[in-house]
């Protein structure tokens, strides 16, 4: 019984530690004209999106939920007291 409880606790801790999947964060979306109304927002360039809809119908739009990755800003190198 103790072994079963240990195994159950181990399984729960492994599942709880798993990282959640993040949504795709790309600037271009393909809207398909195939009757399903499907959309794919997995394109980094407008040209990639156009190549995807070419021949199957659809159009490309900018992803209005796209947020560019945050780049750390460099720190200032000196202080005002060093300007004497």
pLDDT at 46: 97
pLDDT at 5: 58
Query: pLDDT tens for residues 26-60?
Result: 999 999 997 778 999 999 999 999 999 998 899 99
- DSSP readout, 13-72? HHHHHSPPPPPP--SEEEEE-SSS--EEEEESSHHHHHHHHTTT-EEEEE-TT--PPP-P
pLDDT at 80: 60
The string over 19-53, giving b where at least 16 C-beta atoms fall within 10 Å of a residue's C-beta and e elsewhere, is eeeeeeebbbbbbbeeeeeeebbebeeeeebeebb
Higher pLDDT, 48 or 20: 48
pLDDT at 47: 97
- Mean pLDDT for 2-6 is 64
0.85 exceeded by the pTM? Answer: no
């Amino acid at each position: 019984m103790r072994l079963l409880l240990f195994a159950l606790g181990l399984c729960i801790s492994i599942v709880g530690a798993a990282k959640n999947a993040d949504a795709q964060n790309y600037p271009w979306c393909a809207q398909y004209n195939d009757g399903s109304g499907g959309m794919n927002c997995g394109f980094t360039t407008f040209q990639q999106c156009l190549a995807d809809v070419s021949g199957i119908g659809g159009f490309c739009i900018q992803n209005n939920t796209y947020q560019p990755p945050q780049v750390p800003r460099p720190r200032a190198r000196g202080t005002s007291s060093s300007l004497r």
